[in-house]
Amino acid sequence: MGAPSEVETHPLLQGWFWLAVAALLIGWWAPFPFMTAMQQRALGVAAFALVSWSAQPIPIEISSLAVLLLLPASKLLDFSATFAPFSQPTIWLVFAGMVLSLLLSATGLGDRLALRVQPIITGGGRWRVLMGLHILGLVTAFLVPSGVVRVLLLMPIGISLTQAIAPSGGDDARRWGGAIALSLVCGTYFGGCGVLTGSVPNLVVTGQLEMATGRVVLWGEWLRWMFPVIGAARAALCLVVVWLVAGRGLPEPASQPETTDQRPLDRDQRRALFLLLTGVGLWATDPIHGLPPVYVGLFLVLMAILPGWGPLSLGRLREINFPLYFYIAALFGMGAALDLSGVNGRVIGSVLHLLPDAGGHWLSACLALTAAAVPLDFLMDIAAVGAVVTPSLLEVGSQYGLTPIASAMSVAMATSLVFLPYQAAPFMVALSYRQVPLRQMVGVMFLLSSLSLFLLCPLNVLYWRITGLI
Task: Please name which of 175, 223, 215 lies closest in space to residue 199, comparing C-alpha atoms.
Answer: 223
CA angle 435, 231, 50 (to 5 degrees): 65
- Check residue 463 and give its pLDDT: 96
DSSP class of 2: -
- Check residue 190 and give its pLDDT: 94
- Check residue 276 and give its pLDDT: 82
Whether residue 120 is predicted with pLDDT greater than 80 in this model: the reply is: no
- When pLDDT is averaged across residues 19-31 and rounded to a whole number, the result is 71
CA angle 286, 287, 291 (to 5 degrees): 40
Query: Which 3 state secondary structure label does DSSP give 166?
Result: coil
Identify the weakest region by mean pLDDT among 27-36, 155-164, 192-201: 27-36
> Are the C-beta atoms of residues 253 and 165 closer than 8 Å to each other?
yes
Query: Which 3 state secondary structure label does DSSP give 169?
Result: coil
- When pLDDT is averaged across residues 212-218 and rounded to a whole number, the result is 88
Which pLDDT band, with edges at 50, 70 and 90, does 182 fall under? very high
With pLDDT > 70 as the criterion, what percentage of the chain qualifies? 83
The DSSP line for 391-444 is: HHHHHHHHHTT--HHHHHHHHHHHHT---SGGGSHHHHHHHHTT-S-HHHHHHH
Higher-confidence residue: 252 or 447?
Answer: 447
C-alpha 263: how far from chain center? 35
**Rounded-to-integer distance, Cα 276 and Cα 280, Å:** 6
**Rounded-to-integer distance, Cα 397 and Cα 369, Å:** 7
What is the tens place of the pLDDT at every residue in 262-304?
678 889 999 998 998 888 788 767 668 878 878 888 999 999 9
Which pLDDT band, with edges at 50, 70 and 90, does 8 fall under? very low
Whether residue 363 is predicted with pLDDT greater than 50 in this model: the reply is: yes
Quote the pTM value.
Answer: 0.69
- When pLDDT is averaged across residues 70-82 and rounded to a whole number, the result is 88
Higher-confidence residue: 384 or 435?
Answer: 435
Which pLDDT band, with edges at 50, 70 and 90, does 408 fall under? very high
- When pLDDT is averaged across residues 400-407 and rounded to a whole number, the result is 90
Which pLDDT band, with edges at 50, 70 and 90, does 3 fall under? very low
Which pLDDT band, with edges at 50, 70 and 90, does 418 fall under? very high
Task: Please name which of 331, 340, 325 lies closest in space to residue 49, comparing C-alpha atoms.
Answer: 331
- When pLDDT is averaged across residues 448-455 and rounded to a whole number, the result is 95
- When pLDDT is averaged across residues 120-144 and rounded to a whole number, the result is 82
State the amino acid at position 237 in one-letter form.
L
> Are the C-beta atoms of residues 377 and 423 closer than 8 Å to each other?
yes
Which pLDDT band, with edges at 50, 70 and 90, does 432 fall under? low
> Are the C-beta atoms of residues 369 and 458 closer than 8 Å to each other?
no
- Check residue 456 and give its pLDDT: 96
Kindly tell me the burial class for residue 454, based on how many C-beta atoms sit within 10 Å of its own C-beta (0-12, 13-18, 19 or more). Answer: exposed
Which pLDDT band, with edges at 50, 70 and 90, does 16 fall under? low
Whether residue 4 is predicted with pLDDT greater than 50 in this model: the reply is: no
- Check residue 124 and give its pLDDT: 66
Q: What's the chain's average pLDDT? A: 81
Whether residue 7 is predicted with pLDDT greater than 50 in this model: the reply is: no
- Check residue 1 and give its pLDDT: 36
Q: 238: Cβ–Cβ under 8 A, 6 or more apart, which residues? A: 134, 183, 186, 187, 190, 191, 448
Which pLDDT band, with edges at 50, 70 and 90, does 160 fall under? confident
- Check residue 9 and give its pLDDT: 45
Whether residue 401 is predicted with pLDDT greater than 60 in this model: the reply is: yes
- Check residue 379 and give its pLDDT: 62
**Rounded-to-integer distance, Cα 378 and Cα 355, Å:** 18
How would you classify residue 123: left for phi > 0, otherwise alpha for psi between -120 and 50, otherwise beta? alpha
What is the tens place of the pLDDT at every residue in 365-393?
899 899 888 877 776 668 878 888 888 88
Q: Provide the residue count of the chain.
A: 470
Q: 418: Cβ–Cβ under 8 A, 6 or more apart, which residues? A: 189, 190, 377, 382, 424, 427, 445, 449
Whether residue 352 is predicted with pLDDT greater than 60 in this model: the reply is: yes
Task: Please name which of 190, 191, 117 lies closest in space to residue 160, comparing C-alpha atoms.
Answer: 117
- When pLDDT is averaged across residues 107-136 and rounded to a whole number, the result is 77
Which pLDDT band, with edges at 50, 70 and 90, does 128 fall under? confident
Whether residue 344 is predicted with pLDDT greater than 70 in this model: the reply is: no
